[in-house]
Amino acid sequence: MPEVEYHLQSEESSLMHFCATRSEVLRSPHARRHLREGFCRRLTILSTNLLTIYATANPERNENLSKYECADLNVHLNSYYFQLRGALDNLSWILHYEFHLFEDGDEDDPSTRTQCYLFRDSFRSKLRRQLPKLAKFLDSKASWADEFKELRDPVAHRVPLYAVPGVATEPDVEEFNKLHREAADAAQKRDLESYMEKQLKASMVGSYHAIFVCSTPEGLNPGVSQTK
């Protein structure tokens, strides 16, 4: 078993064991609900996302992603950021319900929903009164939370993150553009076979690098890059 896969499964197993053994300690039934039916379920989804991402976007890979590999990778990439935020929300609600951070507010209350997030200042301020060590730990992760927000927000509110199928270096660009022009000509002539052939060849130009991009008003920004 690859080291990364072993590490992920080991961490998932530890967290699952914690959920199973510690849920009964919680006094609030709603806190237990968010642990069992929220956080615990999301762990399995997140683990599946990461294992698929690591298996597909392997740093040792040289061959460009196929159309369907690229689509599958993008499903898991965007799901990961969406589910991770959901898991953080579940943890926030667990703490709120267990310690009444916002009195009797629940998930149907807009004001409580707005404030109930681990890295919101008002949430940490409430938490600091009852669990100062945990609040201090969250303070130390504030920079991470800001970086995470920059990648999660496009997933939820604007455009999806995109794992690129391959990277064409400058010498490859001419060949890439030539094949796309030929594909466009074939499409105009309704030569579907030639069109598909040129598109396939164009997708194979360059080599694979584990990179995803985020679309912004300023253009495409790279998210993660693992160069060989």
Domain boundaries, the chain: 3-159
Q: pTM surpassing 0.85?
A: no
Q: Report pLDDT for 4.
A: 64
**pLDDT the model gives residue 225:** 40
- Per-residue pLDDT of the chain (228 residues), as tens digits, is 566 666 777 888 888 888 888 788 899 999 999 999 999 999 999 989 998 998 899 888 888 888 899 999 999 999 999 999 999 999 999 999 999 999 999 999 999 999 999 999 999 999 999 999 999 999 999 999 998 888 777 776 778 888 888 887 777 777 778 877 888 888 888 888 888 887 777 777 777 888 888 877 777 677 644 433
Question: For 197-216, b where at least 16 C-beta lie within 10 A, e where not — what string?
Answer: ebbebbbebbebbbbbbbee
Q: Which two three-digit tokens encode residue 91?
A: 């943890």
Tokens encoding 187: 């499409």
